[in-house]
Amino acid sequence: MFSIHSKMWIIIICVLFINTAHTSPTRLKPPLYVKSVSFKSLDQDNFIDRDNVLNPDKLRTDPMCPAADSIFPCICLLELAVGKLNIDCSNVIDELQLRQVFGTDFPTKDFQNLTILNNSNIKILGNGVFGSVTFEHVRIMKGSLVTIEDSVFILSNTTLKSLDLSWNEIAVFPFPTLNVYMNLMYLCVKANNIQTFPIFASQSLLGLCMSNNPISILPLNPYGYLPHLEHIWLSSTKVKDLPPNMFSSLHKLETVNLHSNKINRINMDTFKITSQVLQSIDFSDNEIQTIEAGAFIGLHDSVINLESNKLTILPSDVWQGVVLQNVKLRIKGNPLLCGCDVAWAVLDPLFITHLEGAICADGHKLTDECKPCYKLCSPFIELRRLFTFRF
């Protein structure tokens, strides 16, 4: 048979094989620059982190910067790890001062980060305010911005990768111009005063957060011109109705966050999903009472979070096909009546494990419901349920 030597080789090869088999899922996704870095800052509530700016191990003043006093109170520092310049202007007293700073002579015009945090002095960013300086990542957060004029960042048309303007009071934003920013991957205008959902085009955008804005109506095909979107945040708005086929054109969609809106029903054809990589749709904390059969088509291996809504029934024609595609439903916090509509789930061990946190209105867990009782369910009894039949 095998010599000791060849046995050793077989073991080594097996170990190598197991290792690669184990790590391959993570390799499916090519590491995308920015995804790991700027992405985290999006849609987080308290992202104020100025440690970086002041940490001398990571940053230092550099001859590529303009003279420190010529740009005061802005601070220009070299980020050592990447060899790029960042500028922090959190302390400017108004837009005019910002304009003066960027009007001075900048030996190097290509900056990586512009940061303005917690500044309540600037209300408008007017065209030309950044002189001839360009940026890759712009974060102007927790401020009092109201208006962004159309070509404020226009010189960064090829460099801008992320723009985060969360927690301001922006009512006027030049969405239609965004198509010129050919590398813009993330846009966050969370927690502002945007009332009308903007339709705009971008071939590069991967993530869009518009949560916490007083938007009440979604247009038809709201994301129709953003073909590469992967992540959508639209939570805490006043949205009640979802337009049909709202994500059908998004072939790369991964996560959708619609929590804490006013959604009360999901109609047939609302989610005809064409993305093969959709992981989750979050509808928690809405007012959903009715979901029509055919509301979710094309989902597989994902999670639909319906926690804290007003669902009373889980009809098999709505859910059985969805759950069969390995979709998990999170339904804690719904006043389920647990009549014959849930018999399909209670009686099938596969389905019951996909209904996480299902608790009936009377406090029973769906998993603890009396299985033999549900065996009595039949079309006839289903009819009786209408007359408040209840186990």
- Counting residues that bind ligand NAG (by CB under 6 A) gives 18
Q: Running DSSP on this structure, what letter comes out for residue 183?
A: T
- Binding of ligand NAG by 248 (CB under 6 A): no
Q: Which of 154, 217, 303, 347 binds ligand NAG (CB under 6 A)?
A: 154
**Nearest of 74, 81, 68 to residue 99 by alpha carbon:** 74
- Binding of ligand NAG by 186 (CB under 6 A): no
Say if residue 31 is preceded by a cis peptide, omega within 30 of 0.
no
- Binding of ligand NAG by 64 (CB under 6 A): no
192, 170 contact by CB (below 8 A):
yes
Q: Which of 6, 158, 195, 326 binds ligand NAG (CB under 6 A)?
A: 158
Tell me the residue number closest to ligand NAG, measured at CB.
Answer: 38
Give Cβ neighbours of residue 23 (< 8 Å, ≥ 6 apart).
none
- Binding of ligand NAG by 79 (CB under 6 A): yes
* Closest to ligand NAG by CB, 53 or 318: 53
Q: Which of 42, 53, 239, 313 binds ligand NAG (CB under 6 A)?
A: 53
- Binding of ligand NAG by 38 (CB under 6 A): yes
Task: Name the one range near ligand NAG by CB under 6 A: 18-26, 111-119, 356-364, 367-375.
Answer: 111-119
Any idea how long the chain is? 391
CB of 135 to ligand NAG, least distance (A): 10
Alpha carbon distance 150, 152 (integer Å): 6
Q: Running DSSP on this structure, what letter comes out for residue 30?
A: P
Q: Which of 52, 108, 245, 280 binds ligand NAG (CB under 6 A)?
A: 52
195, 213 contact by CB (below 8 A):
yes
- Binding of ligand NAG by 137 (CB under 6 A): yes
CB of 38 to ligand NAG, least distance (A): 3
* Closest to ligand NAG by CB, 141 or 266: 141
What is the secondary structure of 196-230 as a DSSP string? SPPP---SS--EEE--SS----PPSSTTTT-TT--
Q: Which of 66, 92, 112, 134 binds ligand NAG (CB under 6 A)?
A: 112
Alpha carbon distance 259, 285 (integer Å): 6
**Nearest of 377, 329, 321, 322 to residue 352 by alpha carbon:** 329
Alpha carbon distance 157, 153 (integer Å): 7
CB of 10 to ligand NAG, least distance (A): 45
Task: Name the one range near ligand NAG by CB under 6 A: 155-163, 236-244, 298-306, 383-391.
Answer: 155-163
Task: Name the one range near ligand NAG by CB under 6 A: 112-120, 252-260, 288-296, 365-373.
Answer: 112-120
Reported for 211-219, long-range contacts at CB under 8 A and 24+ positions apart, including other chains, are 211/43, 211/235, 211/236, 211/237, 211/257, 212/236, 212/237, 213/189, 213/237, 214/238, 215/239, 216/240, 217/241, 218/242, 218/243, 218/246, 219/243
Q: Which residues in this chain contact ligand NAG in the complex, by CB under 6 A?
A: 37-38, 48, 52-53, 59, 79, 86, 112-113, 118, 137, 154, 157-158, 162, 180, 182
